Amino acid sequence: AWDFDLRTGEAFWSRSDFEQLGYEPNPDGRATMEMWRSRIHPEDLDRVMEEFDRAKFERSVYQSEHRIIRANDGATRWLTVFGHFRYDGNGDAVRFAGVFLDFTNRKLVEEALRENEGRFHTLADNIAQLAWMADETGWRFWYNHRWYEYTGTTLQDIQGCGWQKFHHPDHIGRVVAHQEKCFATGEAWEDRFPLLGKDGRYRWFLSRALPIRKAENR
């Protein structure tokens, strides 16, 4: 937690503020606003200051996510900052108080997940097979490039239940019934059926799908 005096530039910080920004804690908690500003990553600084000025002008809650470079070891950390302004009788902002929250570990996990997702999509888009993903209700929300190449469609055309129009009318009822049963029970799905290509020809496919389970085996 911290409290800035906007008239003097002085501040009072909790011990964790000093530690988060890489400063030696001051026993009386005294600091300056410049000590925070100077730690903001140069690539984020202009945006952070614009957010600060906008919140002050609009008298709204200040919220920002940005990187800081610690003073003692040069390490880059991610902070979420929440703050609010106090105004005097003339309507001028005189104090700025709030909290720093270090969420670097969460940010690293999010970045790792994005990298993993990117690697998956790269792999799935370059296999010879047609691939797709659906949510727990069976709503299709992703297909690989091979699907689009074979059918000549886009995600907008076939998301949800749009895939059904590429199935042969003699087989679609059986295919849908079997899929719905597997989605309801959470069991693996396998089937054989013809699919219509963009050249107007049907070709037979073996298709398999496995459930991805969340907590409590859902």
3-state DSSP helix/strand/coil percent for the chain, to nearest 5?
Answer: 40, 30, 30
Determine the average pLDDT of the residues in 162-180: 92
Q: What's the pLDDT at 126?
A: 86
199 pLDDT band, cuts 50/70/90, is very high
pLDDT > 70: percent of the chain: 100
Determine the average pLDDT of the residues in 23-52: 92
For 72-140, give the secondary structure using H, E and C: CCCCEEEEEEEEEEEECCCCCEEEEEEEEEECHHHHHHHHHHHHHHHHHHHHHHCCCCCCEEECCCCCE
Q: Which of 184, 183, 138, 147 has its CA nearest to residue 166?
A: 147
116 pLDDT band, cuts 50/70/90, is confident
pLDDT single digits (tens) 51-63: 999 999 999 999 9
pLDDT single digits (tens) 77-115: 999 999 999 999 999 999 999 998 898 888 888 888 888
Instruction: Tell the burial category of 108 from Cβ atoms under 10 Å away from its Cβ (0-12, 13-18, 19+).
Output: exposed
68 pLDDT band, cuts 50/70/90, is very high
pLDDT higher than threshold 90 for residue 218? no
pLDDT > 90: percent of the chain: 62
Q: What's the pLDDT at 118?
A: 84
Determine the average pLDDT of the residues in 131-144: 88
47 DSSP assignment:
H
117 pLDDT band, cuts 50/70/90, is confident
pLDDT higher than threshold 90 for residue 69? yes
Which structure tokens are listed for 212?
């991805």
Q: What's the pLDDT at 157?
A: 84
- Exposure on the CB side of residue 183, measured as CA atoms within 13 A: 14
Sequence-separated (6 or more) residues with CB below 8 Å from residue 130: 143, 144, 146, 147, 150, 195, 205
Residue 164's φ and ψ, nearest 5 degrees, are -65, -25
Which structure tokens are listed for 15?
């011990």
Q: What's the pLDDT at 50?
A: 95
pLDDT higher than threshold 80 for residue 196? yes
Residue 18's φ and ψ, nearest 5 degrees, are -60, -45
